[in-house]
Structure 1
Amino acid sequence: MASVLHIVLLPWSAFGHLLPFFELSKCLALKGLKVSYVSTPGNLKRLPPVPSNLEKLINLVQLPLLSEGKLPENAEATIDMPLEKVQYLKKAYDGLKDLFEKVVVHGSPDWIVHDFVPSWVLEIADKYRVPTVFFSVFSAATLAFLGPPEHLQSRTSPKDFAYAPQWFTFPTSIKYTNHEAVSLCSSLNQIDASGRSSAERLQAAIRGCKFVAIRTCREFECRYVDLLNQLYKKPVVPVGILPTLVERRTNSSTEDTLVNRTFRWLDKQRPGTVLFVGFGSEYRMTREEIQELAYGLELSGLHFIWVLRKPPYVNDENGVLPNGFEERTRSHGVICINGWVPQVEILAHKAIGGCLFHSGWGTIIESLQFGHAMILLPMMADQGLNARLLVEKGIGVEVERKEDGTFTREGMAKAVRYVMVEDEGKVFRVRARQMKAIFSNQRLHDDYQHNFVCNLYNYAHDHTNV
């Protein structure tokens, strides 16, 4: 390959976006490319450290976020605020445009790899003749469901999202339920405080880029990747799943920290018997959801580890869980409330046998790296589509919900036991273990990353091909 390329990456300020962009940065640096990763000071401080062998190739560039006072103090990411405040974060993020232009002028990048929210990047890229890549952290199935750019703003009713769209040329179960469709339609099409809708931003990102990069692999989403190439009328390049490598560990430390206590407990459990429970950092569960989930876990009788983010409506941990729940489950459950735990290391532990979670794409990838079957309870955004994809693949079961979207403890316990221990659910456990051969295959995903880098170099020297 010719001279070293300089790539500027600009993710949206949500950790489901920041972290995949960071993993992509490391992959590019490992291939010898120079990387500038751009975000706000607070977000950069919360990223994992840059590996020492890549420090000379990855430059973390901070741009100060200027708020108009409608954001919580020191809030720089969606995790720092309730959902209704995110529109003000988008508005503040749009205010980074002039500062980002200076980064481009000073750094003279060969490429800009951007998220869909800062679609204003395209104006800067056009001004300075810098080619761009839209890097999607969503599954190919999700993007395929949303459709070609010309349709992104044409679906204005919830019923438009409650069935598989006409451009699906094969049988599929990818669609939203009725209660999900209402929420999605509002969040996708509503013009917020920033003056734009998410659909408008995504449409611009797809139309303006030279090609689309997507965090997936053909071995898992082949027909959806192929469909996207047709819908977008431009190349869609999988970069692999960007797997997080971690050693399976045991913990002999006697230091009394939350992490050490958690691993000492896991070390005592039989292989494949513990259920991992976690609903990510973005969704704030209601009191009713937390209580019903707790009773469902208790009713299942299974061993579990539950990573629970304390909701903002309680002042202390005592107001989160049902009375007496921790005492009744102390012998077979560990609850980590608001304390940081290394999720990937926990999923890598031999005691974990399945996951009950929100169907976020990042956690799906992490779970399948270790071959865990899944009990699915999608909560927001793309999670419902991801859940249908996993059911379609035969590696997960959704918890039954009522028409209004609520679930019961009985339905929760039934789904958990079915996937984790019952004979009828063995097919899900077997299929999930088979997925490990794909999702933990470092050579496979390294080939995807190599192909992505080749595309970058090829376009840099021939502007007629990607």
Structure 2
Amino acid sequence: MAASRHTELAKAAATPSLHVVVFPWLAFGHMIPFLELSKRLAMRGHAVTFVSTPRNAARLGAIPPALSAHVRVVTLHLPAVDGLPEGAESTADVPPEMVGLLKKAFDGLATPFAGLVADACSTGAGEAAATAAAAVRFSRKPDWIILDFAQNWIWPIAEEHKIPCAVFLIVTAAMISFIGTKEVNLAHPRTTTEDYMVPPPWIPFPSTLAYRGHEAEWIANIFRPNASGVSDADRFWDLQRPCCRLIVYRSCPEAEPRLFPLLTELFARPAVPAGLLMPADGGHITYSDESFAPAIQWLDEQPERSVIYVALGSEAPVTADHVRELAHGLELSGVRFLWALRPPSGGAHHAGALLPDGFESRVAARGLGLVCTDWVPQVRVLAHGAVGAFLTHCGWGSTVESFRFGHPLVMLPFVVDQSLIAQAMTARGIGVEVARNYDDGSFHRDAVAAAVRRVMVEEESREYTRKAKQLQEVLMDKVQQELYLDELVGYLHRYK
């Protein structure tokens, strides 16, 4: 950014406070960074109304007392939808095949959200707040609505009340570049799986922006209607309305070079980096210290950087076969591991029941590893001195957490932007992917063992660690990361 532009935005960040309504899609990988963005805005003196459903709000935990006067959480009750389990309020509550139904229920929030906005735009409206000052902050008309990719029904509400909107995207800039606009997709239609296995023609420089085999099948599905009756791509493409002034990314040019100018040009509105938004506490659902105490004790007993932490997220479409091959591979590698094992999607079985017979007793007898089937505080584990690498599905949130500690990666991507992230991290030399069959997504235990050993014990492991530490130094520049947020506030003032 030019110096004059930089100064202009920094000055704008210091102007009077805003009232911002923040409304994420019902997935914890979305809600956590949206809540972190809300906290960062509140720390700068702005009022934030954070909207979600009752169960999700409870699971996200309380707003820190220091910010409670600036952030209020408003809950809207999710309507019942045939086929959606009772009490399901997030993607963590349903298998992948039911996410379309969850989107259908989410669409049912249009009317109550319209009522919330109308009340906020009325004189003296808004929920009662803790203090008179807080009441003033929240009773006034919102200056902005910051929404997710999914709420294509918000645009008429925003237009009626003349409220500008910003879309906040928690996936990578790389994935949005790959998706492109509706116009470029009409000009360059992708009609076969193979069309998604090459970089799109609107990427003007050499890139790894392409999917492989089974991954391409998944990405193709976002362009097709799901059980909600609307495709994810069509939901997203609706943002090209006059009231959508900005597209904000949980990313930055240091993490994803060359993409921000391209996205600004493609979507004809500023592509604004919010930085990586690393929560101080990892931003996860609250957990019991007692339940994790044995794992911390085990880690405390291990040599420095001798353990690989293994976690494939809470919502990756991991099958029973994946669990078994991964278990055998970790055992074959001979490398110490701590495995945060979640049940496969659908949750029909307790996660531990899917492990090979005798696996836990064998690895325990060798002092080789520990399997945790309760919630694991991921940032706390990654920060531990015994951890030397991270075997991950390459969800963007988990990858960002790995940047914080400079860990090299063993990568096993599944869906969304995970493949693009894995390819980008491989190109940057900070880890290796587990070799797999890209026709069906399967992988073999020998490939797991080989990848783990390459990153943890073989000669090349030093180079992976060195490059991961270099990337950590660049991306964990706190001054630069906070400056991105100041500049975002500057954009909010300039474009409202």
Q: Identify the TM-score tier after normalising by the shorter chain.
A: over 0.9
Query: Using the alignment, how far apart are the partners of 1:179 and 1:72 within structure 2?
Result: 28
CA contact (8 A) 1:149 1:206 kept: no
Kindly tell me the number of residue pairs found equivalent between the two proteins.
451
- The Cα of 1:37 is off from its aligned counterpart by 0.4
Residues 1:86 and 2:103 are matched in the alignment: no
Alpha-carbon RMSD: 1.7
Residues 1:435 and 2:448 are matched in the alignment: no
1:71 counterpart SS class: coil
Query: Using the alignment, how far apart are the partners of 1:65 and 1:458 within structure 2?
Result: 35
CA contact (8 A) 2:342 2:351 kept: no
CA contact (8 A) 2:341 2:351 kept: no
Query: Using the alignment, how far apart are the partners of 1:370 and 1:276 within structure 2?
Result: 12
1:289 counterpart SS class: helix
Aligned pair in 2 of structure 1 residues 318, 243: CA closer, same or farther (>3 Å)? Answer: closer
Q: Which of the residues 57, 70, 74 maps onto 1:44?
A: 57
1:189 counterpart SS class: coil
* Structure-1 residue corresponding to 2:123: none
- The Cα of 1:442 is off from its aligned counterpart by 1.9
Once the two structures are superposed, what CA deviation does each residue of 1:173-214 show, in whole Å capped at 9, x if it has no partner? Answer: 22100221112212x122122221001011112555101000
CA contact (8 A) 1:134 1:206 kept: no
Query: Using the alignment, how far apart are the partners of 2:349 and 2:182 within structure 1?
Result: 45
* Structure-2 residue corresponding to 1:357: 392
Once the two structures are superposed, what CA deviation does each residue of 1:402-437 show, in whole Å capped at 9, x if it has no partner? Answer: 242211100111011101121123221111011111
Query: Using the alignment, how far apart are the partners of 2:177 and 2:146 within structure 1?
Result: 21
CA contact (8 A) 1:150 1:203 kept: no
Query: Using the alignment, how far apart are the partners of 1:118 and 1:326 within structure 2?
Result: 44
Letter in 1 for 2:171: F
Residues 1:376 and 2:411 are matched in the alignment: yes
* Structure-2 residue corresponding to 1:283: 316
* Structure-2 residue corresponding to 1:344: 379
Q: Tell me the TM-score normalized by structure 2.
A: 0.88
1:210 counterpart SS class: strand
- The Cα of 1:142 is off from its aligned counterpart by 1.2
Letter in 1 for 2:444: T
2:88 counterpart SS class: coil
- The Cα of 1:3 is off from its aligned counterpart by 3.2
Query: Using the alignment, how far apart are the partners of 2:277 and 2:203 within structure 1?
Result: 27
Once the two structures are superposed, what CA deviation does each residue of 1:237-282 show, in whole Å capped at 9, x if it has no partner? Answer: 00000012259xxxxxxx9933111111111111211101011111
* Structure-1 residue corresponding to 2:353: 319
* Structure-2 residue corresponding to 1:240: 275
- The Cα of 1:284 is off from its aligned counterpart by 3.7
Once the two structures are superposed, what CA deviation does each residue of 1:359-378 show, in whole Å capped at 9, x if it has no partner? Answer: 10000000110000011111
Q: Which of the residues 292, 296, 307 maps onto 2:329?
A: 296
CA contact (8 A) 1:114 1:133 kept: yes
Query: Using the alignment, how far apart are the partners of 2:241 and 2:119 within structure 1?
Result: 26
Query: Using the alignment, how far apart are the partners of 1:317 and 1:215 within structure 2?
Result: 31
1:164-179 → structure 2 map (5 Å cutoff) = 164-179=199-214
* Structure-2 residue corresponding to 1:195: 229
Once the two structures are superposed, what CA deviation does each residue of 1:117-164 show, in whole Å capped at 9, x if it has no partner? Answer: 012111111111000001000111111111233235742321111001
* Structure-2 residue corresponding to 1:419: 455
Q: Which has the higher contact order (CA 8 A, sep 6+)?
A: 2
2:256 counterpart SS class: helix
Aligned pair in 2 of structure 1 residues 199, 256: CA closer, same or farther (>3 Å)? Answer: closer
Letter in 2 for 1:296: G
Letter in 2 for 1:322: P
The range that moved more, 300-309 or 378-387, is: 378-387
Query: Using the alignment, how far apart are the partners of 2:66 and 2:352 within structure 1?
Result: 44
Aligned pair in 2 of structure 1 residues 317, 243: CA closer, same or farther (>3 Å)? Answer: closer
Once the two structures are superposed, what CA deviation does each residue of 1:334-391 show, in whole Å capped at 9, x if it has no partner? Answer: 1111x11211111111111111111100000001100000111111122111111111
Aligned pair in 2 of structure 1 residues 269, 294: CA closer, same or farther (>3 Å)? Answer: same
- The Cα of 1:441 is off from its aligned counterpart by 2.2
Query: Using the alignment, how far apart are the partners of 1:15 and 1:246 within structure 2?
Result: 15
* Structure-2 residue corresponding to 1:218: 253
The range that moved more, 202-211 or 159-168, is: 202-211
Large movers: runs of 4+ above 6 Å: none
CA contact (8 A) 1:156 1:189 kept: no
- The Cα of 1:48 is off from its aligned counterpart by 3.2
* Structure-2 residue corresponding to 1:55: 68
Query: Using the alignment, how far apart are the partners of 2:452 and 2:240 within structure 1?
Result: 39
Q: Which consecutive residues of structure 2, in runs of 5 or more, have no partner in the other structure? A: 1-13, 121-140, 283-287
Q: Which of the residues 383, 401, 407 maps onto 2:443?
A: 407
- The Cα of 1:315 is off from its aligned counterpart by 4.1
Letter in 2 for 1:413: A
* Structure-2 residue corresponding to 1:204: 238
* Structure-1 residue corresponding to 2:485: 449
The range that moved more, 230-239 or 165-174, is: 165-174
* Structure-2 residue corresponding to 1:32: 45
Aligned pair in 2 of structure 1 residues 326, 197: CA closer, same or farther (>3 Å)? Answer: same
- The Cα of 1:81 is off from its aligned counterpart by 0.5
* Structure-1 residue corresponding to 2:81: 68
The range that moved more, 382-391 or 287-296, is: 382-391
1:239-258 → structure 2 map (5 Å cutoff) = 239-246=274-281, 257-258=290-291
Query: Using the alignment, how far apart are the partners of 1:49 and 1:369 within structure 2?
Result: 24
Aligned pair in 2 of structure 1 residues 97, 451: CA closer, same or farther (>3 Å)? Answer: same
Query: Using the alignment, how far apart are the partners of 1:156 and 1:116 within structure 2?
Result: 23
Residues 1:163 and 2:176 are matched in the alignment: no
Aligned pair in 2 of structure 1 residues 243, 403: CA closer, same or farther (>3 Å)? Answer: closer
